[in-house]
Amino acid sequence: MSLLFPLGLLALAAWLVPLLIHLARRHQYAPLDFAALRWLRARIRPRQRVRFDEWPLLLVRLLLLAALALLLARPVLHGGAADTHPVTVVAPGLDGAALRGQNVQGDWRWLAPGFPTLAEGAPAPTQPLASLLRELDQTLPAGTPLTVYIPDPMPGLDGERPRLSRAVTWQPVPLAPPAARVGTPPRLQIGGSIAEGEQRVLAAIQRAWSDQPLSPARAADTAPDDGQLGVWLAAAPLPAAWQAWVQRGGSVLVAPGAAGTGWMPALRDAHGNVVLEHRTEGSGRLLRFSAALSPTALPAVRDPGFPRQWLAVIAAPAAPTLAPAATQAPLRGAAAPVPAPRELAPWLLALIVLLFALERVMATSPRRGAGA
Amino acid sequence: MSRNAPIAIPDDVRSRLKALRLLPRRARGAHGIGQHASRSRGAGLEFAQYRAYEPGDELRQIDWKLYARSDRFFVRESERESPITTWVLIDATASAGQHDRARPEWSRLDHACATAACLVELALQQSDRFGVIAISGEGVQLVPAGHGARQRDRVHLLLRQLQARGSWPPVTSLAPIWERVQAGDLLVALGDGFDEAGIVLLERLAAARREVLHLQLLTAEERDFPFTDGHRFRDPETGEELLGDGRAIREDYLARFETAQRALQARLQNSGIVHATGYLDQPLDQPLRALLGAGGGA
């Protein structure tokens, strides 16, 4: 048992009140007729012993205050018998009802945030399944058997294979993954005037990327479309329409030696020389080559792998999102889940109500007036 | 005890009262026919003396057998059994209002009145004359001695009106006692015995040939001192107060009280006053048996 808010015990200072009440009352005695007074010796009482009237009532009142202070201190109880009934989780996207079949007794839940029961309907897959598995593992008490129905191939992976604290019954269910999105490489969109040699190089790169010719150059007041890579190699500064597009998230290749600070190297050649630099601009970014885009000024252009390298810079390949479920069976060895402490507040509240009722009964009993 | 209710003697006490006698050691009946030895000579069972015949004596009183032997006229005389006068003196000063906490409706005065009623019953059984004297702060209230059931009613009327108040009155206001209580009368004093003036009065009555019995009535608290808490003790007569813790002063009190009781007993014994002590939590007749059993041997 421990206290979440030990400062709440400061409320025990309220004990002073009933103690003082019960202490002060002893001086209010009505005079007692005693004819044999002359044989009483009025000696100074040896030691004023602290004595209390009606100590049962005082005890109840102190207990009541102690319970209230304890309630403020928020006690929690560690240990105790944990609920270790088997739990089965089904990843969203699977047909939970069909998997469950006739088994209506077990605890079946969705592998989704909050782990709702199957009856609440399939939630939308929003979080990585691996992360949810770790959370579930730490939520369930140690020793709870866990069965996981997972689609095969398994989506929702993250950086590490799940490592759980318990053995898991791993049940891959074949499920066709949603149609893979085919990544389309960006198209170059030239704007403004451009040198003949540079256009030739860009055309070659565009052809290397998507085997398509360059689209015709656009005027200064027409920004590139989304998904395109703008090219503005003219000496004139970037026009307003293009700048606005960059601010919204576009990427534009500008002339070497373009103004601005914060340029970061993005690509180096075999000798370690910086070939391509970039800097963010609003939500988008600007790119610039270290020299004019020609085989003579920029030897890296002659490298056959240059288009692919550049493509990797502007459109990084998508991380794998699917894996065979059998290979993603969780590993063992994670730290055992910390048992969740139980809050004692409801029991304390019941105790407080009981004590209060007892205190009222004792304080208002007719016998009390006669005894005092 | 309610002031309006008649003074009721419990049945068991009443039945036990029949075994008791108010027998004085010294007091002698004076006139009339009763149960007590008297100084008056006359016809009776108990032979007293022969005396010479005097003119005017009845002829049937002459002892003719003695005349035959001695050739003189002798008159045979017997002692007459005569009634005595019994007085009950009740201390109704403020200290008589004290009661035990265990029985708050039964004060020392109530106990004294009930005891007085018992004594009146005894006197009535014996056809004695009886009267009641109550001493309170206001002076002396008394019912003159008389006999018979109507006298008992008069006594009960006074007892029911009694209220405990004041302290012991000055000697001058006690003159009615000396006027009423004759030498040779029996006087039973009921009270706590704490008033020095009261004891002095009894001593003087005893010295003046009144047969005095003293029945001291104490509360159980005065005997046991069962106080465990702090209390403000107050003397009902002087109003003096004393704050004390029951536990702390109990032993000292009990020792001192015991000493004082012994001194009082010795003092009364020296004066020839029969003494007994009754407590409020005892039956009414228990101290009476001690008092009359010891003193009524004559």
Residues A92-116 pLDDT 10s: 888 877 888 777 778 888 888 888 8
Question: Which of A180-194, A221-235, B23-37, B199-213 is predicted most confidently?
Answer: B199-213
The confidence score (pLDDT) of residue B295 equals 43
Find where tokens 């005396």 sit: B51
Mean pLDDT for A308-323 is 76
Classify residue A5 as exposed, middle or buried by CB count within 10 Å of its CB (0-12, 13-18, 19+). Answer: exposed
Classify residue A100 as exposed, middle or buried by CB count within 10 Å of its CB (0-12, 13-18, 19+). Answer: middle
Is the pLDDT assigned to residue B178 strictly greater than 70? yes
Asked if A26 and B230 come within 8 Å (Cβ–Cβ), the reply is yes
- For residues A176 and B273, which has the higher predicted lDDT (pLDDT)? B273
Residue B93 pLDDT class (50, 70, 90 cuts): very high
The confidence score (pLDDT) of residue B155 equals 93
**How far does Cα A132 stand from its chain's mean position?**
11
Nearest residue on chain A to B196, alpha-carbon basis: A38
The confidence score (pLDDT) of residue B259 equals 94
Mean pLDDT for B146-173 is 91
Mean pLDDT for A224-234 is 82
Asked if A26 and B236 come within 8 Å (Cβ–Cβ), the reply is no
Domain boundaries of chain B, sorted by first residue = 11-27+84-295, 36-82
Nearest to A34 among B229, B235, B248 (CB): B235
Cα–Cα distance between A279 and A245 in angstroms, integer? 15
Mean pLDDT for B177-203 is 91
- Per DSSP (E only), the strands in A178-335 are 187-190, 228-232, 251-254, 264-268, 274-281, 284-289
DSSP state, residue B45: S
ipTM: 0.73
Lowest mean pLDDT among A10-19, A305-314, A327-336, B289-298: B289-298
The confidence score (pLDDT) of residue B90 equals 95
Contacts of B250 in chain A (CB under 8 A): none
Residue B296 pLDDT class (50, 70, 90 cuts): very low
Mean pLDDT for B249-273 is 92
Residue B5 pLDDT class (50, 70, 90 cuts): low
Is the pLDDT assigned to residue B150 strictly greater than 80? yes
The confidence score (pLDDT) of residue A44 equals 52
- For residues B1 and A26, which has the higher predicted lDDT (pLDDT)? A26
- Mean pLDDT score across all residues of chain A: 82
Is the pLDDT assigned to residue B151 strictly greater than 60? yes
Contacts of A32 in chain B (CB under 8 A): 101, 231-234
The confidence score (pLDDT) of residue B7 equals 77
Classify residue A176 as exposed, middle or buried by CB count within 10 Å of its CB (0-12, 13-18, 19+). Answer: exposed
Mean pLDDT for B108-117 is 93
Residue B261 pLDDT class (50, 70, 90 cuts): very high
Residue B297 pLDDT class (50, 70, 90 cuts): very low
- Could you give the C-alpha distances from B47 to A124, A273, B16, B43, B77, in angstroms and in order? 134, 165, 33, 9, 6
Which residue type, as a one-letter code, is found at position A372? A
Radius of gyration, CA atoms only, chain A: 39
Domain boundaries of chain A, sorted by first residue = 2-30+50-78+342-371, 87-176+323-328, 187-314
Q: Does residue A162 have a cis bond before it (omega within 30 degrees)?
A: no
Summarize pLDDT for A54-74 with one digit per residue, the tens. 788 889 999 999 999 999 998
Asked if A41 and B249 come within 8 Å (Cβ–Cβ), the reply is yes
Residue A371 pLDDT class (50, 70, 90 cuts): very low
Summarize pLDDT for A261-298 with one digit per residue, the tens. 888 888 888 888 888 888 888 888 888 888 888 888 88
| Token couple for B123 | 């006197």
Radius of gyration, CA atoms only, chain B: 23
Which residue type, as a one-letter code, is found at position A345? A
Q: What percent of chain B has pLDDT over 90?
A: 45
The confidence score (pLDDT) of residue B37 equals 66
Summarize pLDDT for A23-60 with one digit per residue, the tens. 765 555 667 888 888 888 766 554 455 667 778 888 99
- Asked if A256 and A298 touch (Cβ cutoff 8 Å), the reply is no
Residue to mutate among A23, A26, A39, A53, with most B CBs inside 10 A, is A39
- For residues B174 and A29, which has the higher predicted lDDT (pLDDT)? B174
For the domain bounded by B11-27+84-295, which CATH number is listed?
Answer: 3.40.50.410
B199: nearest Cα among B185, B189, B210: B189
Q: Does residue B6 sit in helix, strand or coil?
A: coil
- Mean pLDDT score across all residues of chain B: 86
* Alpha-helix residue ranges (DSSP H) falling in chain A: 16-24, 55-73, 96-100, 129-139, 196-210, 240-248, 306-314, 345-363, 366-371
- Per DSSP (E only), the strands in chain B are 36-42, 46-52, 74-82, 85-91, 129-136, 139-146, 186-191, 211-218, 230-234, 241-245, 274-279
Asked if B234 and A39 come within 8 Å (Cβ–Cβ), the reply is no
- Asked if A192 and A216 touch (Cβ cutoff 8 Å), the reply is no
Mean pLDDT for A181-188 is 71
Asked if A38 and B253 come within 8 Å (Cβ–Cβ), the reply is no
Cα–Cα distance between A213 and A204 in angstroms, integer? 8
Mean pLDDT for B75-102 is 86
Q: Is B196 on the interface with A (CB under 8 A)?
A: no
Asked if B233 and A51 come within 8 Å (Cβ–Cβ), the reply is no
Nearest residue on chain A to B230, alpha-carbon basis: A26
The confidence score (pLDDT) of residue A93 equals 80
Is the pLDDT assigned to residue B72 strictly greater than 50? yes
Residue A370 pLDDT class (50, 70, 90 cuts): very low
The confidence score (pLDDT) of residue B280 equals 92
Residue A372 pLDDT class (50, 70, 90 cuts): very low
- For residues A105 and B136, which has the higher predicted lDDT (pLDDT)? B136
Lowest mean pLDDT among A96-100, A143-147, A212-216, B33-37: B33-37
Lowest mean pLDDT among A205-209, B138-142, B199-203: A205-209
Number of helices and strands (H, E) in chain B? 9, 11
> Can you say whether the dihedral through the CA atoms of B62, B66, B71, B75 is positive or negative?
negative
Contacts of B245 in chain A (CB under 8 A): 45, 49
Is the pLDDT assigned to residue B170 strictly greater than 70? yes
- Asked if B212 and A9 touch (Cβ cutoff 8 Å), the reply is no
Is the pLDDT assigned to residue A249 strictly greater than 60? yes
Asked if A38 and B235 come within 8 Å (Cβ–Cβ), the reply is yes
Which residue type, as a one-letter code, is found at position B55? P
- For residues B222 and A51, which has the higher predicted lDDT (pLDDT)? B222
